Amino acid sequence: MSEIAEFTRHLGHYLAPPDVALVERAFEYSESAHRGQFRKSGEPYITHPLAVASILSQWRIDAQGLAAALLHDVMEDTSVTKTEIETTFGRPVAEMVDGVSKLDQIEFTSTEEAQAENFRKMLLAMARDVRVILIKLADRLHNMRTLDAMSPANRRRIARETLDIYAPIANRLGLNALYQELQDLSFKHLHPMRYRVLSAAIKAARGNRREVMNRLLDAIRDGYHKAGIHASVTGREKTVYSVYKKMREKRYTFSQVFDIYGVRVLVTDPTSCYAALGVLHALYKPIPGKFKDYVAIPKANAYQSLHTTMFGPFGTPLEAQIRTHDMHRIAEAGVAAHWLYKTHGGVDLAEAQRETHRWLQSLLEIQSESGDSKEFLENIKGDLFPDEIYVFTPKGKIMALPRGATAVDFAYGVHTDIGHHCVAARINYELLPLRTELKNGDHVEILTAPTARPNPSWLSFVATGKARSRIRHYLKGLQQKESAALGERLLNQALATLKVEPDAVTWDRWEALAKEYGAKSQLEILADIGVGKRLSFVVAQALTRTPGGRGDEGAAAPAAKAGALSLRGVEGVAIQYGKCCRPIPGDRIVGHFRKGQGLVVHLTDCATLRKQRVDAAELVDVEWASDVQGVFDAGIRVLVSDRRGLLADLATAIADADGNIDAISMEKPDGAGVIAMFFGVQVRDRRHLAGIMRNLRRIPDVRRVQRART
C-alpha cells in the first residue's frame, strides 16, 4: 500500500529507525488480523487504524502510541487476545489497546448506563496513560470524518455522543483544533440543513469582508512596526458551530455574529503580550469589561492568552487574542504538545502537564468514591464543561473553579478535611454562608470547626465533582456507621428474646454468617439490619443455630416478644421522625422500617401509616427513653380574630414558653374576620408543647388552639 510507505516516510522525520520498525510490524500484524473485513463505506478495514495512526503522527506521538493505534480494534473485531499483543509488542502497547477497546461483553440495563460505563472506563484508562484518550479521540475524529456511510439514526446518535462527551474531553485537554473539528462535524450530522445554510452564509460573508479585514490587519501591523514590536498578525476565522452556538445563546442574528472581526497576535515573550495590548488599545478603544488575562491566570487546561474586545473601524466590534508562539502551540495542541514540541527548545510544558495530571488523578479519586457509572458521570460533568472563574486563597494562590461554584466547592478544592469541617466563609473579608456563589476575583477564606460535618443539603448546590463525590462518600460512611449502631441494638433485642447473650456469639460464627450472606463484614450485616434490608430476628436465629444447621429466611418471628427499642432522640440519620405525624417525647410511637432508609418513627395512630397497610414484620416496638435529648418538630394551629400586632403577640407568647419558631403560614378566608395560622415549633416533649399552647390561649383574640400533626 502506498499509504503505509508515505506514512512511515513521515515517521522517519521524528522517530528513530527501530521505532519506525515497531510501527511497521504493528501495521503488518493489524492488516493480517483485519484481512477480509471491510468498513461500511466498502474500504478495507485496515484503512481506519492507519488513518487514526496518521492523525496521531501529526502530534508526533511515540512509537508505542502509534503501534497501539494501529492495533486498537484487533481485540474487539478479531480473535487476537491481550496476551498475544503483550507477547509481540510489549505490556505498554497491550495496556493501551485494552484501554481503547469497547466494552461489549458487559450487559447493561439501559443505553444511558452503557454510555456512562464506557465513559467511566475510558477516563480511568486515560488517567493511567493519557495516550489512551489521544488514540480514542483520533479514532472518533476519523469515524466522524467518514460518518456518511452510516444510517441517519446512527449518524445522529454518534454525533450527539461526540458533542456531549468527546468534544468536551478534547477541550479539557487543550486540543483546540480537534475540539473545533469535532464540534463542526457533530453539528453537520445533527442538523444537516442548518449546517448547509450557515456554511454557505459564512462563505459568502468572508468574501464580502476580505477587503475590510486586510485593511484592518495592515493598520495593526503598521502600529506594531512603529512601536518596534515584532508580532505576527493574522485574521481569526469563526467555525460554523461557534457561529451557530453564539446565535442560539445570545439570540443574535447571523449578521450580528459575523459583524465581529477577529485577529490573533503572536509575539516573542509574555512581556511583549502586554506591550502589544497597549498598542491595540491605542489604535482602537477597548470595550469596558471585555478584557480577560489568561496569561497571568491560565485556564485549567493550561491555555494562555490575553483577550480583548474593541470598537473597530466603522463601529464594528474587533476581538483580539494576544499570545506568544509557545502559548499558541499549547493552545492548539494541548496535552499532545508534550510530544509535539518536546524536541523544541524554550517551550515550558511542565505546568500544562502538571495540570493535566492533577485533573486525571482527581478522576481516579472521584471514581473510588462514586457508587456507580451514572453517579461518576454526574460527579465530573462540572469538570468537563467548565465555564471557569478564578478566586484567591488567603495566601494569594489562584484557584480555578467552574462557574456556579460555591464556598463549599472552594473548601473541598483546598483540602478534603477543610470541606468536611467548614462552617462559614469569609468572602472579600465579609462573613457569608457556605452556599454563597463565588465570582471572578473573590478572596475566599474558609472557617472550620472540629465538630462540624458535611450536610446532605450541600449536594443541592455544589458545582464540582470533587466536592460532590467527597460529600456523598462521607455521608455513605456515616449512614453505615449509624445504621450499624441501630442494627446492633435491634439484634441485641432479638438475641435477648432467644435468651442469648450478645457476647456469647463467637467471632467464628459471625465470619461464617458473613460468608453465607455474601457480606464483607459483621459491620455490613448490622448496617443491613439498621436500614431494614435484613430482619433482626432472622439474623439472631442464624447466629444461634447449631453449626451445619439450616436457617430459614422466611421463618416466623419468635413467639416471645422483645422489649421495646429505647429512643433518646440523638440517633442521627439511622432513625428519622415521620414528617406526616411529627412524634415528640411523650407520644405513643411505633417504628417502621423503610428498606434502604432505616427506621422511621410514627405515632401509633398515624393516618399515613394506616393508609400504607404496612406488614407487621416491618414494624418495631419503640418507646421514649427517660433521658431524651434534643428538640423535636411539632405543629400548632391557631384560629384568631384579625387585628394589628397580633402576630407579634403570638410570637412573644411562644418565646416566653421557651419555644423556637421555625415556620409560619396563614390563611384568611375571603370576607371572614378570622385568620387560620400554622406555627412550626421546636419542643422538648409533650409537656413543653402543652405549655406553649396554654400561653397562646391566654391571648384574648385567640379563638382556638390545637396541635397540628400534619
* Enzyme catalytic residues: 76-77
Distance, CA of 657 to CA of 636 (rounded, Å): 14
CB atoms closer than 10 angstroms to residue 330: 28
So what's the pLDDT on residue 187? Answer: 93
Q: Are residues 255 and 340 in contact, defined by beta-carbon separation less than 8 angstroms?
A: no
Q: Are residues 343 and 14 in contact, defined by beta-carbon separation less than 8 angstroms?
A: yes
So what's the pLDDT on residue 203? Answer: 81
Q: What is the DSSP string of 467-502?
A: HHHHHHHHHHHHHHHHHHHHHHHHHHHHHHHTT--G
Q: Coil, helix or strand for 33?
A: helix
Cα dist from 145 to 152, 181, 188, 636, whole Å? 15, 9, 11, 68
So what's the pLDDT on residue 359? Answer: 61
**What φ, ψ does residue 295 adopt, rounded to 5°?**
-80, -50
CA proximity to 573, closest of 527, 637, 640, 615:
527
Q: In 191-288, where does DSSP find H-type helix?
A: 192-227, 240-250, 254-258, 270-283
Q: Which residues of the chain carry a pLDDT beneath 50?
A: 103-110, 342-349, 549-562
Cα dist from 314 to 43, 142, 179, 443, whole Å? 52, 42, 33, 40
Q: Are residues 431 and 424 in contact, defined by beta-carbon separation less than 8 angstroms?
A: yes
Secondary structure of 644-707 in the HEC alphabet? Answer: CCHHHHHHHHHHHCCCEEEEEEEECCCCCCEEEEEEEEEECCHHHHHHHHHHHHCCCCEEEEEE
* Structure-block grid coordinates of residue 246: 453564539
Q: Are residues 266 and 305 in contact, defined by beta-carbon separation less than 8 angstroms?
A: no
Largest CA-CA distance found in the chain, in angstroms, rounded: 101
Q: Are residues 505 and 545 in contact, defined by beta-carbon separation less than 8 angstroms?
A: no
**What φ, ψ does residue 614 adopt, rounded to 5°?**
-70, 140
So what's the pLDDT on residue 694? Answer: 93
So what's the pLDDT on residue 512? Answer: 84
Residue in the structure block whose three cell numbers are 493489524 = 30
Strand 575-577 relative to strand 598-603, pairing: parallel
Distance, CA of 456 to CA of 447 (rounded, Å): 19
Distance, CA of 696 to CA of 691 (rounded, Å): 9
CB atoms closer than 10 angstroms to residue 423: 13
Q: Long-range contacts for 10-17 (Cβ within 8 Å, ≥24 apart)?
A: 10/57, 11/57, 11/66, 14/60, 14/343, 15/62, 15/63
Distance, CA of 665 to CA of 637 (rounded, Å): 10
So what's the pLDDT on residue 103? Answer: 35
Distance from chain centroid for Cα 447: 25
**What φ, ψ does residue 229 adopt, rounded to 5°?**
-105, 125
CB atoms closer than 10 angstroms to residue 518: 7
Q: Coil, helix or strand for 79?
A: coil
Q: What is the DSSP string of 235-254?
A: E-PPPHHHHHHHHHHHT--H
pLDDT tens-digit map of 632-686: 999 999 999 888 888 889 999 999 999 888 889 888 776 667 889 999 999 999 9
CA proximity to 414, closest of 446, 461, 373, 367:
446
So what's the pLDDT on residue 86? Answer: 87
* Structure-block grid coordinates of residue 421: 469541617
Helix (H), strand (E) at residue 426: strand 422-427
Cβ-proximal residues to 647 (8 Å cutoff; 6+ apart), any chain: 664
So what's the pLDDT on residue 242? Answer: 87
Q: What is the CA radius of gyration of the chain?
A: 34
pLDDT tens-digit map of 326-339: 888 877 776 666 55
Distance, CA of 341 to CA of 352 (rounded, Å): 13
So what's the pLDDT on residue 639? Answer: 92
CA proximity to 67, closest of 41, 36, 88:
88
Q: Are residues 52 and 142 in contact, defined by beta-carbon separation less than 8 angstroms?
A: yes
Q: Is the dihedral of CA 500, 502, 506, 511 positive or negative?
A: positive
Q: In 90-128, where does DSSP find H-type helix?
A: 91-100, 111-128
Residue in the structure block whose three cell numbers are 470541606 = 419
Taken in order of first residue, the domains within the chain and their CATH numbers are: 2-190 (1.10.3210.10), 194-340 (3.30.460.10), 464-555 (no CATH), 564-630 (no CATH), 632-708 (3.30.70.260)
Residue in the structure block whose three cell numbers are 384574648 = 700
Sheet holding 444-448, edge to edge: 430-432, 422-427, 444-448
